[in-house]
Amino acid sequence: MKIHNFSAGPCILPQEVFQEASQAILNYNNSGLSILEISHRSKDFVAVMEEARSISLELLGLQNKGYKAIFLQGGASMQFLMVAYNLLEQKGAYLNTGTWSSKAIKEAKLFGEVNVVKSSEDKNFSYIPKGYMIPTDVDYFHCTSNNTIFGTQMKEFPNTPKPMVCDMSSDIFSRDMDFSKFDLIYAGAQKNMGPAGTTLVIVKESLLGKVTRKIPSMMDYKVHIEKESMFNTPPVYAVYVSLLTMKWLKAQGGIKAIEERNEKKAQLLYSEIDINPLFKGYTAVEDRSIMNATFNLNDESLKEKFDSMCKEAGINGINGHRSVGGYRASMYNALPLESVEVLVDVMSDLERNA
């Protein structure tokens, strides 16, 4: 039976990527060695790292614009700390749209004052706050583009007088926009780019070196840029599979092409949620994520039946996060439209047989 993987992360990846990556475990680049055992200082892996850093900038349209790409460890959670370590001199402005931005705020408070410009916590993060002003006396503005747990997504970003930092962990490479609006972007790989174990950071070099505190080497973006992501042993396999995924994305036509496919998938599922009387969406309609659709049953007595039908259809990973309950269908880049069609068919069948 074909499994339809709606897991929020680690996420679905393209089958072509799995095939090439699995071959590399046995014999990488005809070297007779596994990608898991080659030296990270070898020519083979240095070439992988260089290409991964280069193609990430190319996909975002940021090459030759003063940006550097680095692959780090510790997930986005480490970036909550590193952003503040490197950028927060006195005060940071944060938009609070969910669990991850709340955690970022907590870490930033260790380094200076935090101004939460607006929050959607009053309605359990079911919408994106609007109509806020970013103060001019802050060092930077931080936001989270997509909220995996609650299923909200920022559709517009403010014109900020200060550098803009964005956590794009769960929607990077999924939609086209002017990425030069951002001064620093970070994303854990395991949501939409690769396996768990590495984090992509895109940073404008002119942003760095302005805080007066001493920064430990492992926490210093400048050190990692200078060492070309090789300051310490990098997560070789995670970087390699992320490279394969980015090459796959480029072969699909890049971000613009994948955005069209993502929009079709999201439109199909949200249409069913809206017309099917057994279901209701969790988030505000205008803030719905194209990556993570959150929804609930109107009648919880149908849960056992719906869960059983999903299992029979090979649908995996749609249980909602404990913070929200209900269901969450994550529709990352590699998820085929066919999988969404199967889920919609099951939802329709439930209505007919309820």
Q: What is the mean pLDDT of residues 23-43?
A: 95
**Residue 176 DSSP SS3:** coil
The model's pLDDT over 231-246, given as tens digits with 9 standing for 90+, comes to 999 999 999 999 999 9
pLDDT of residue 201: 98
Of 68, 100, 183, 248, catalytic: 100
Residue 133 buriedness (CB in 10 A; 0-12 / 13-18 / 19+): exposed
- The secondary element (H helix, E strand) that includes residue 274 is helix 254-275
pLDDT of residue 272: 98
The model's pLDDT over 281-298, given as tens digits with 9 standing for 90+, comes to 999 999 999 999 999 999
pLDDT of residue 296: 97
Phi, psi of 129, deg, nearest 5:
-60, 150
Has residue 132 got a pLDDT over 90? yes
Has residue 120 got a pLDDT over 90? yes
Of 68, 139, 183, 191, catalytic: 191
For residue 16, what are its two tokens? 């072509």
Has residue 179 got a pLDDT over 90? yes
Across the chain, mean pLDDT equals: 97
Euclidean distance between the first and the last CA atom of the chain, given in angstroms as a whole number: 25
Whether the predicted model's global pTM rises above the 0.85 cut: yes
Q: Are strands 4-5 and 113-119 parallel, antiparallel or unpaired?
A: unpaired
Residue 204 annotated as catalytic: no
pLDDT of residue 92: 98
The domains of the chain are located at 15-251, 254-353
Question: Cα(51)–Cα(71) distance, rounded to whole angstroms?
Answer: 12
Please work out, in degrees rounded to the nearest 5, the angle formed at the alpha carbon of residue 39 by the alpha carbons of 37 and 45.
100
Residue 167 annotated as catalytic: yes
Of 68, 139, 162, 167, catalytic: 167
Has residue 354 got a pLDDT over 90? no
- CATH second-level architecture of 15-251? 3-Layer(aba) Sandwich (3.40)
Has residue 1 got a pLDDT over 90? no
Q: Which residues pair with 94 in a beta bridge?
A: 116, 142
Residue corresponding to tokens 């850093």: 53
The model's pLDDT over 214-226, given as tens digits with 9 standing for 90+, comes to 999 999 999 999 9
Residue 191 annotated as catalytic: yes
Task: Kindly state which CATH superfamily the domain 254-353 is placed in.
Answer: Aspartate Aminotransferase, domain 1 (3.90.1150.10)
Please, are residues 225 and 205 in contact by the beta-carbon 8 Å criterion? Answer: yes
Has residue 174 got a pLDDT over 90? yes
User: Which one-letter amino acid corresponds to residue 333?
Assistant: N
Residue corresponding to tokens 């055992």: 37
Q: Peptide bond preceding 14: is omega within 30 degrees of 0, i.e. cis?
A: no
